[in-house]
A and B are shown apart, each in its own frame.
Chain A
Amino acid sequence: MTSLDKNQIQTLIGLVTTTQPDQLNCDDCFGQIAEFAEYALEDRELTEGMKIVQQHLSQCPCCKGEYEALLDAMQELTA
């Protein structure tokens, strides 16, 4: 029998301890991610609505990965 390894336990502890209420699901997040990326790229202060997107991203590894890939792509375009 293989139990979770050290890294997996650390990830699980991280998932549990960083949990916050989340008002969005992944589709909601996707619908706002382009706008959120422009806030980040232009270094603008987040509105309340954008903070809700940030809260989802901080808890959803899937959306976070896609967001970071989007930033890479957009940075290439402005390079």
Chain B
Amino acid sequence: MSTVNQDNWVDRLKSDDDVRDRAIQELRAILLRGLTATCRSRYGNKVSPEDVVQDALLKVLDKIDTFEGRSKFTTWAMTIAVRVAISEMRRKHFRDISMNDLLNDSMKFEVAADPSPEPGEEEQKTGILSTLQELIESKLTDKQKDAVHSLLNGMPVEVFAEKTGSNRNAVYKLVHDARVKLKQGFEQAGYQAEDIKALFA
């Protein structure tokens, strides 16, 4: 009879008898159930939960020593599984799209004035958009422009990072810094975020 505490996933998954095998089977079933729900609701079954669950399980076992007990083990494991599923889905979706397709010469990072403004708002909106255009040109680096432009074209930060040989943290910071620069630029030009938001809501 095993003395391993059945509530303790880490102990069970690290034991070396059939306690471990049973724990793995249980965890696989839990992850599969969660992933099936998330793949169905969010990703139109672009990714098969059965395909990613094995990969997810291996990642969980690989990272098990980093589990700090700040959440339930199953929530922590599901976090890893969901990340595996979404990364796979993003990779599949963007596999055949190159940076060139996304940011080719015919796709300008330009903000044209709204062609159908409400009467009375036209002038204000046009002023804001031309300020935005100036700020993009004067405040952002080429890298920042590409990163923000890709994001607006629907490419997740994670995929942009992979395609440009960077990493997600660095690209997130690149985009965040760009946003801060544009926001500050607006403030210096006399536009407050709240007013802009209200006008474009």
Residues in chain A within 8 A of chain B (CB atoms): 1-4, 6, 8-19, 22, 25-27, 30, 32-35, 37-38, 59-62, 65-66, 68-70, 72-77
* Minimum Cβ distance to chain A for residue B195 (Å): 9
Tell whether, in the assembled complex, residue A27 and residue B152 are in contact, meaning their CB atoms are under 8 Å apart. Answer: no
Tell whether, in the assembled complex, residue B176 and residue A70 are in contact, meaning their CB atoms are under 8 Å apart. Answer: no
**Hey, which chain A residues are within 8 Å of B106, CB to CB?**
1-2
**Hey, which chain B residues are within 8 Å of A38, CB to CB?**
71-72, 75
**B122 at interface by CB-CB < 8 Å:** no
**B95 at interface by CB-CB < 8 Å:** no
Question: Which listed residue, A27, A37, A59, touches B168 by the CB 8 Å rule?
Answer: A27
Tell whether, in the assembled complex, residue A62 and residue B129 are in contact, meaning their CB atoms are under 8 Å apart. Answer: no
Question: Which listed residue, B74, B175, B197, touches A13 by the CB 8 Å rule?
Answer: B197
**Hey, which chain B residues are within 8 Å of A68, CB to CB?**
42
Query: Given contacts A37-B79, A38-B72, A73-B37, is CB(A16)–CB(B179) below 8 Å?
Result: yes
Tell whether, in the assembled complex, residue A17 and residue B183 are in contact, meaning their CB atoms are under 8 Å apart. Answer: yes
Name which residue of chain B comes closest to A27, CB basis.
Answer: B169
**B132 at interface by CB-CB < 8 Å:** yes
**Hey, which chain A residues are within 8 Å of B176, CB to CB?**
19, 22, 59
Question: Which listed residue, B34, B70, B85, B111, touches A34 by the CB 8 Å rule?
Answer: B70
Name which residue of chain A comes closest to B180, CB basis.
Answer: A19
Question: Which listed residue, B109, B128, B172, touches A4 by the CB 8 Å rule?
Answer: B109
- Chain A at the B interface: SS class: helix
Residues in chain B within 8 A of chain A (CB atoms): 30, 33-38, 41-42, 70-72, 74-76, 78-79, 81-83, 85-86, 106-112, 114, 128-129, 132, 148, 151-153, 156-158, 168-169, 172-173, 175-176, 179-180, 182-183, 186, 193-194, 196-197, 200
Tell whether, in the assembled complex, residue A75 and residue B37 are in contact, meaning their CB atoms are under 8 Å apart. Answer: yes
4 tightest Cβ-Cβ pairs between the two chains A and B: A73-B34, A76-B37, A34-B71, A17-B193
* Minimum Cβ distance to chain B for residue A68 (Å): 7
**Hey, which chain A residues are within 8 Å of B168, CB to CB?**
26-27, 62
* Minimum Cβ distance to chain B for residue A70 (Å): 5
Tell whether, in the assembled complex, residue B152 and residue A6 are in contact, meaning their CB atoms are under 8 Å apart. Answer: no
